[in-house]
Amino acid sequence: AREAKEKLKVCTDMVLKEGAAMRVSDLKTVKKVMPGEEAAKEEEESDKLSMQKMMARITECTKGNDLALIASRVAAEKAKKKVEAKDKIAAMEKVFAKYDNNKDGFLDKKDVLKYAQGEFKFRLPDEAADAIIRVLVEEKTKGVKKGDFQKLRVAVGIERERALDIKRKEERIEREQKLAVMKEELQKKIDAATKEVEACLERIGKVEAEAQPLPGKARTMSA
């Protein structure tokens, strides 16, 4: 399709560049027609494409080629997604087989706990594992089947995020408590410093008050 598009472009460029000469050539050919050759020449000319028909044909071919390119891109994208999906499924099946300890095609509670620890570095609480098993394991089956492995992955991820949320909340509360203690200690220091400043100002005021009569006494003593 790309090669065809390039050839169509070359053809279009040639027609646009040589169009005038081609029209002159057609006119010269018509002038050479002799009286006895009109019917044959008309038949011959009817088999030739005029400039307008030629451009219309090129435009039509270009549109068809563009549609073919679009279709090929869509097909290629679909094929790519299909291959990626197969690779993803194969990777998931490999992980499933890794934790299917007894190779019976099911993941029991122990397998689920090992999966959470091995793949997410997360110690799944027993009550959370029991809840997952109750939801995903069908009656009369040994555990989570391969077809529900993606659901198991999502469920473990949710529990992991929940545990992280709890941890983040605890850390936030701890930080707030530390900040509150630091704020209280800082306020105590500020209060103590304020008291010292007030005491100093009070002493300075007393000294200034006591010093005010001294000039009068000095004048009396000098007289």
pLDDT tens by residue, the chain, 223 residues? 566 667 657 766 766 666 555 554 444 444 454 554 555 555 555 545 566 676 777 778 778 778 877 888 888 888 888 888 888 889 989 999 999 999 999 999 999 999 999 999 999 999 999 999 999 998 888 899 999 999 999 999 999 999 999 999 999 999 999 999 999 999 999 999 999 999 999 889 888 887 776 566 556 655 5
Sign, CA dihedral 90-91-95-98, equals positive
What global pTM score does this model have? 0.51
Instruction: Quickly list DSSP for 154-206.
Output: HHHHHHHHHHHHHHHHHHHHHHHHHHHHHHHHHHHHHHHHHHHHHHHHHHHHH
For residue 169, what are the CA distances in angstroms to 2, 64, 123? 58, 61, 18
* The CA-based dihedral angle spanning residues 4, 10, 14, 15, taken in that order and rounded to the nearest 10 degrees: 40
Of the candidates 67, 66, 54, 69, the one whose C-alpha atom is nearest the C-alpha of residue 22 is 54
Q: How many CB atoms lie within 10 A of CB 89?
A: 13
Match 């220091």 to its residue by tokens: 189
107 phi/psi in degrees, rounded to 5:
-110, 115
Asked if 142 and 108 touch (Cβ cutoff 8 Å), the reply is yes
Q: Which alpha helices (H) appear in the chain, and where do they start and end?
A: 2-31, 38-46, 51-99, 109-120, 126-136, 149-211, 214-222
